[in-house]
Amino acid sequence: MDSKGITPLKYLGTGICTERSATVTMNNPGSYSVTRVNPANVVVLPTQPQTLSVTTDASSPTYKWFKNGVEVTGETSSTFNITEAGNYYAQVTETGGTCGSTSKNSETTVVVTPASFEIILDYADNYTSCVSTSTVLEVVTINAVASGGTKTDVTASLVDAFAYQWQKDGTDVPGQTGKSISLASNLENGNYRVNATIDSYNETSNTLAVQLLTSDTVTINSTSTVYCSSSDVVTLSSSLDLASESYEWQMDGTSVSTTDTVLNVTSTGTYRLVLDRDGCQLISNEITISPLDENLITLEPSGNLVIPEGTTRTVTASRRNGIPMDGWKQYRNKHL
């Protein structure tokens, strides 16, 4: 026998040839090893069995699996599919030979089920409050939460296994039972969350606020863009009926009226109309009302003009660019 326990046998006799037997390998009892293949800590998810496994270099092994120190009947292979929490190990027995049998246990695997799940929602697009006119909300992460608070990302395994019900402002949204929801109207503005259920777990996600801007537009117009004096009337009006709207007229960014459906301008500045639509501002175009610049007006004929009584003369006023003025203001005592 050599140092490895390998013994060839010789057969000797008078007048016969020497014959050598096949090699016989002899091992010491308990000289084999058992190795756990799976991780030391395993999380079992609903509808997702986990497989525990061991390997051994024993020549004729048999297997038994134990849960919490008690043998699991019928589990006699090197692998074991489990669905319940507990402490698991495999017992490997080497059988055969005159030395009887020896057994070795694998390292223990700690299997846990989640204490709860964390459902995380996010916007699926580049949503901006009161700027976007549509958005999509979706489940982006599902974490399995252990009793000690440790979180494991199980999104890929369970995102399609959960059943969902979307809610707006705490009320179920009929027909919205997928892992995402599409919103395309400011009439759908509100606070959204989703209830997710699987087996005995019933979880509620975080809440996302949605404030979509209406797709409507508002335009304002003016009777003039030049304000001469307090006797002038420059009027601003809207393309929308403001009777049922919440709004304010602004000059240079400051509110000047919240009740006038038509605004009579009393000073120069930049004007716009701002409507409140479901918590978002719908802003009109801007109109700048400027003071009269007398240097931009030319008269023809120019200079002093004498009009004999009983006669008429035509005086034409135009802007420097040659465009006629909209009209005349007539005054007595040397002023036209």
Same domain, 72 and 92: yes
pLDDT for 148-197, tens place per residue? 898 889 899 899 999 999 999 999 999 999 999 999 999 999 999 999 99
Q: Based on the fold, state whether residues 15 and 100 are members of the same structural domain.
A: yes
Rg (CA), the chain: 45
Expressed as residue numbers, the domain containing 66 is 6-112
Task: Answer whether residue 274 is part of any domain.
Answer: yes
Query: What's the start-to-end Cα distance of the chain, in Å?
Result: 135
Q: How far apart are CA 294 and CA 310, in angstroms?
A: 30
- For residues 76 and 131, membership in a common domain is answered with no
pLDDT for 62: 95
- pLDDT tens by residue, 264-276: 998 899 999 999 9
What share of the chain has pLDDT > 90, as a percent? Answer: 59
Q: What is the pLDDT of residues 107-160, one digit of tens each?
A: 999 998 999 999 999 999 999 999 999 999 999 999 999 888 988 898 998 999
Number of Cβ atoms within 10 Å of the Cβ of 119: 23
Task: State how far the Cα of 35 lies from the Cα of 53, in Å rounded to an integer.
Answer: 9
pTM of the model: 0.63
pLDDT score of 292: 78
The DSSP code sequence of 148-211 is TS-EEE-HHHHTTTSEEEEEETTEE-TT--SSEEEE--GGG-EEEEEEEEETTEEEE---EEE-
CATH number of the domain bearing residue 94: 2.60.40.10
Q: Do residues 198 and 225 share a domain?
A: no
Q: How far is CA 264 from CA 216, 248, 282, in A?
A: 25, 14, 21
Q: Are residues 174 and 231 both part of a single domain?
A: no
Number of domains in the chain: 3
Looking at the structure, do residues 28 and 102 belong to the same domain, yes or no? yes
170 and 125 in a common domain? yes
The answer to whether the CB of 201 falls within 8 A of the CB of 161 is: no
pLDDT (0 to 100) of residue 4: 46
H helices of the chain, in order, are 155-158
Query: pLDDT-derived band of residue 84, with 50, 70 and 90 as boundaries?
Result: very high
How many other CB atoms are there within 10 angstroms of residue 106's CB atom?
Answer: 25
Asked whether residue 320 is assigned to any structural domain, the reply reads no
- Give the residue with greater pLDDT, 101 vs 182: 182
Domain final position from 112, 144, 172? 112
Domain boundary among 155, 190, 210: 210
The Cα 85–Cα 89 span in angstroms is 13
- Whether residue 281 is found in the same domain as residue 183: no
